[in-house]
Amino acid sequence: MIVDRLWNLVTANAAALSLFATGVAPHLLEPPVNVVRLGVHPDGLAPRTRNLAEFSEHLLVRLQRQLAVAPDADLQALYDEVLAYPGVTSHSPVVADPTTLLFVPMQFVTDDGRELSMFSTLATFGTALDITLAELSIESFFPTDAATEAYFKA
């Protein structure tokens, strides 16, 4: 998936769309689709995310770090919105061990009941001369276990 600085979906491949858009409320898929909202909203992926508290905390820490570097009213509004969703957890805005940000798996159940475990990485264009391009991130998902790997390959 490619997202902008506010985590709005710019584009995604068919596999990501199939995995993350199936079974969610249509109003969450109306543009602009916000992937943070989609991931933790009660009408989105939250009911199928087995580790919602841990995963949502990870997402909120990402947003907190973004806000610390570049305060933004729209990003703050997104943070406040998702923090109010049921099951979403946020702890201290300061993370004692930054390595905890590196790897928090998303433990997810597909619409057909398969249990998946994956982590994501973000790639940004740090040397981009175009501000629009500099505000984009590519989020890629990778399996953390053999069952998820087999699902992705299929």
pLDDT tens per residue, range 23-52:
999 999 999 999 999 999 999 999 999 999
| Terminal C-alpha separation, the chain | 19
Q: Report whether 72 contacts 129 (CB < 8 A).
A: no
Domain boundaries, the chain: 2-90+100-153
Q: What is the CATH number of domain 2-90+100-153?
A: 3.30.450.180
Tell me the average pLDDT of the chain: 89
> What phi-psi label fits residue 57: left (phi over 0), alpha (psi between -120 and 50 degrees) or beta?
alpha
Which pLDDT score is estimated for 84? 96
Whether omega for the bond prior to residue 32 falls within 30 degrees of 0, making it cis, is yes
Distance CA 79, CA 142 (A): 25
Judged against a pLDDT cut of 90, whether residue 127 lies above it is answered with no
